[in-house]
Amino acid sequence: MYSPVSRLLIVLNLLQARSSITAKELAERLEVNTRSVRRYIIMLQDLGIPVETERGRYGGYRLRPGFKLPPLMWTEEEAVAVTLGLQAVKLLGSGSSQPGVASALAKVERVLPRNILEQVQAIQDMVVLQPEAASDQVSSRWVSLLSMAAYRGQRSRITYQAKDDQQTERVLDCYSVIYLQKHWYAIGYCHLRQDIRLFRLDRIRNVERCEEYFTRPNTFDALAYALQTIAAMPSRWLAEVLLETTLEQISWAVPPTFATLEERSDGILLRAYDDDLDHLARFLVHLGCPFLVMQPPELLEAMQRLGEKITAMVVQAQHYQMHHKLP
């Protein structure tokens, strides 16, 4: 199944590759009827492409003799944007995408004028990008299949391996594919659980397209759902801490996948799940604002241990300075 844009590009490529082609041949290639073919021809003509109609029993379509599409022309800003984008893709952790990135960069270089080509090569050689490396290896095929399923509204059947290694077969209405916090996720309606679910792509073992289609909810915010779901994933401890600050002052310092923030009349309520209360204690001190621990009481013990460590380091530093005074 092709998208309208894909069909339009296919028609253009066939017209460039052949001296002429019939409407029937185009219809078979595009998997549409001849009436739709005429619509795509008109779209190309509206774009200024000189497509001519050949009359007669075996007539068809052809590009005006001597017409050639101009080479790909980019401004320096556009070439820089494409190159940086490809460099970032290369660092996202999908090993199977590496040959595609190298091939795309080579094609970009072949069509650029010399002055812009030098800028692109300078970026490749001298600009260093260090995004968070993905902690898992994900097949680019899963990204491609599920994003296309979401785009078309086509159901998918996936084999999913949970954290405990148990595999289940799921029918999924995929709403979106997201890269977040070093992981790739597919978000959508799971027919097995009869609810919206978040699936890590590195745990998917197989993806198949179904014949059925679905309608994606217009108001669904995939990124907001992912952030809320990850932040609320149960861990050993649920902490509730009242921060004496404003949402504007603190929101930048709290990763949305780690904790949720709720604005109240007496401050900002922070809720976070964590397996390590010592880590949570360090995080709270790092925020740099007064706070009140509401629960669990064990977090107060972790705060006390952290305070004792800081006090011990202060005493050690004072002792060092007393015996190592500078002349």
- Read out DSSP for 63-121? EPTT--PPPP---HHHHHHHHHHHHHHHTSS-GGGHHHHHHHHHHHHHHS-HHHHHHHH
Phi/psi of residue 39, nearest 5 degrees: -65, -40
Enumerate residue ranges in the chain where pLDDT < 50: none
State residue 269's pLDDT score: 95
CA dist 2 and 25 (Å) reads 16
The residue with tokens 């019939």 is 22
pLDDT of the residue at 98 = 61
Pick the CATH number of 4-63 from 1.10.240.10, 1.10.10.10, 3.40.50.2300, 3.30.450.20: 1.10.10.10
The CATH architecture of the domain made up of 140-229 is Roll (2.30)
Q: Can you tell me the distance from the alpha carbon of 84 to that of 11, in angstroms, rounded to the nearest whole number?
A: 31
Sequence-distant (≥ 6) Cβ neighbours of residue 67 within 8 angstroms: 49, 50
Q: What is the per-residue pLDDT for 66? A: 76
Is residue 260 helix, strand or coil? strand
Q: Where are the domains of the chain?
A: 4-63, 76-126, 140-229, 232-312
| Burial letters 297-319, b for 16+ CB under 10 A, else e | eebeebbeebeeeeeeeeeeeee
Structure-token match 């812009």, residue found: 116
At residue 250, the pLDDT reads 92
What is the structure's pLDDT at 116? 72
C-alpha 58/C-alpha 86 separation (Å) is: 45
First to last CA, the chain: 81
Q: What is the pTM of this model?
A: 0.54
Report how far residue 173's alpha carbon sits from residue 190's, in angstroms, rounded to the nearest whole number: 7
Concatenated DSSP letters for 150-181? Answer: HHHTEEEEEEEE-TTS-EEEEEEEEEEEEEET
The residue written with tokens 């990008």 in the block is 129
Pick the CATH number of 232-312 from 2.60.40, 3.40.50, 3.30.420, 3.30.70: 3.30.70
Q: Which helix (H) or strand (E) holds 4?
A: helix 4-17
The single residue listed with the structure tokens 């799940």 is 273
pLDDT score of 313:
94
HSE on the CB side for 149, CA within 13 Å?
30
